[in-house]
A and B are shown apart, each in its own frame.
Chain A
Amino acid sequence: MNRLTDATRRKLLKGAAALSTLALAPGVMLVRPAVARETGKPATSNVRWGLLIDTAKCDAGCDTCVTACRTENGWTGHDRPQTDPQWIRKVTVTDKRSGAALSLPVMCQHCAEPPCVDVCPTGASMKRADGIVLVDKHICIGCRYCMMACPFKARSFVHEDVTDQKPHAPRGKGTVESCTFCVHRVDDGRMPACVEACTEKAGRGAMIFGDLNDPNSDIAKAVSKHVTTRIRADLGLDQGVMYRGF
C-alpha cells in the first residue's frame, strides 16, 4: 500500500488520540477501543476483541442497539420474521418461579472455539487472528451448517436479493451472515455501532467493547473486577461476548 509520510501519519495518530476519549455527559465517557491499526498491517492475535454487556443497565423497552446495527450494516427485512436476517436481537429471560425478568441483546458471541468454523465445509466460516468470527462470503456456498451448529442462533441466511448495500457491508442472496463486531469500524479505531449507540443515543452505557488482552482497557478492568457470565458457559466455547448481572 501507499505508505503515508511520517508527517501525515503523525497527524493521523494525533487526531486519533485527541478523539480517543469523548466526554458525553458527566460520568458517561466513550473510550475508543484503540488507535486504528496501521494501514497495510494485518490483524494479530496480540489483540482479542471482547464485549461486556451489563444487564442491569439494559431495559426491555430499549432496542437502540438493534436499530443502530441495522442502520450501520443495512440488514433491513421484508416483514417476514421467519426468514429476515437478524444480526442482533433483544432476548427476555424470565425466572419462572419468581417472574423476575432480564432483557439483553444477543449477537454472534465471537467464540474462541467457534462451532460454526468447525463445521464449515469450505473454510468460509472463519475466525480472524484478533478473535472476530466472520463469514467469508466470497467462498460461502450457503449450506447453512454453521447456522445449525451455532448454539446462540446468531447467524442468518440471506433469502432475497439485496440492493443498496452499504459500501462497508456487502451482502447478497445465498450466503450466511452475522454480527462482525463492525469489523470495518474496529479496524478504523472506532466502536461497534451498537456500543456507540447504547452510550450516545440511549445514554445507558450498558456495553463495553475493547481488547481483553490489554490489561489497561476498560473491558479488561471491568472483567477483572466484576463477576461475568457467558451464555451456555458449559459448552466451553470461550466467547468474546460476556454478560454481567445474571
Chain B
Amino acid sequence: MKHGRIIGFLLVLLGLLLAAPMPVLAGDVPLPHPVKAVKGSQCVEPVDTMRREHMNFLKHQRDDTLRGGIRGAKHSLRQCIDCHAIPDPKGASKDRTVGPFCTSCHEYAAVSIDCFQCHTAKAEDGGKQSSRWRHKAGGENLLSELRTHLQGSTKEARP
C-alpha cells in the first residue's frame, strides 16, 4: 500500500517532468511573422517555395546577373527590396528598408547574411534613382503598364 502510493507519486512526477518542457520551449521563442509586402499581391514564386528556396534563387541570380550580364530577372535582389521594404515604424526616416522583413526569420533561424553590407537595403522611392524602364522609354504610363504586366505574369507562374 505504502509502496503503491510512492510509485504512483513517482509516476505523476515523471509525467509532469515529461510534459513540462514543451510549453516552456514553445513560449520562449515565438515563431516569426514576417511583415506583409508593401507592393504586389503575390511573390515571385509561391510563398512556401520562397520560404524554403529564396536563398538559392538569390545566389543563382547574382551569378547570372553579375557574371552573365542578365538583367531584369525576376529573382533580382532589387526587386525583393522594392516589394518587401517597409517604412520605418518609428517614423524616424522617410525611407523604406528591407531589413525588418529579412531579419524577422533570420533571427529565429540564427542565420546572418552579409548582403546588406554592400547592397543598400533601401527601396528606390522618390524617383532619385530612375528605374530601367522609366529611363528608357521616358513614360510613366509605360512603367505602370509594365507593372501590371509583371503582376499578371507572376500570377501565371503559380501552379
Contacts and interface: CB of A to CB of B under 8 A. Distances in A.
Is B one of A's binding partners? yes
Interface of A: 1-5, 8, 11-12, 14-16, 19, 36-37, 39-43, 126, 128-130, 134, 136-138, 161-162, 164-168, 170-173, 175, 183, 187-190
A4 B136 contact: no
B128 to A, nearest CB: 10
Nearest to A136: B66
A40 to B, nearest CB: 6
B9 interface: no
Contacts of A41: 70
A11 B149 contact: no
B124 to A, nearest CB: 5
A2 B119 contact: no
Q: What is the interface of chain B mostly: helix, strand, loop, or mixed? A: helix
B72 interface: yes
Contact of A8 (B68, B117, B149): B149
A165 B122 CA distance: 9
A19 B139 CA distance: 12
Identify the 10 closest CB pairs spanning chains A and B, nearest first: A43-B69, A15-B137, A172-B118, A170-B118, A39-B72, A2-B153, A42-B68, A172-B117, A170-B119, A1-B73
Nearest to B69: A43
A66 B122 CA distance: 26
B118 A166 contact: no
A182 to B, nearest CB: 13
B78 interface: yes
B145 to A, nearest CB: 6
A162 B118 CA distance: 7
B34 to A, nearest CB: 22
Nearest to A187: B71
Contacts of B78: 167
Interface residues of B, number: 36
A188 to B, nearest CB: 5
Given A8-B146, A12-B136, A42-B69, A3 B153 contact: yes
B74 A134 contact: no
A5 to B, nearest CB: 7
B106 interface: no
Contacts of A183: 69
29 contacts: A1-B70, A1-B72, A1-B73, A1-B74, A2-B153, A8-B145, A11-B142, A12-B136, A12-B142, A15-B136, A15-B139, A15-B142, A19-B136, A19-B138, A36-B132, A36-B136, A39-B71, A41-B70, A42-B68, A128-B67, A128-B69, A130-B69, A137-B118, A138-B66, A164-B120, A166-B120, A167-B81, A167-B119, A188-B132
A39 B69 CA distance: 10
Nearest to B142: A11
Given A166-B129, A167-B124, A11 B71 contact: no
Contact of B149 (A5, A161, A166, A175): A5
A173 B138 contact: no
B68 A43 contact: yes
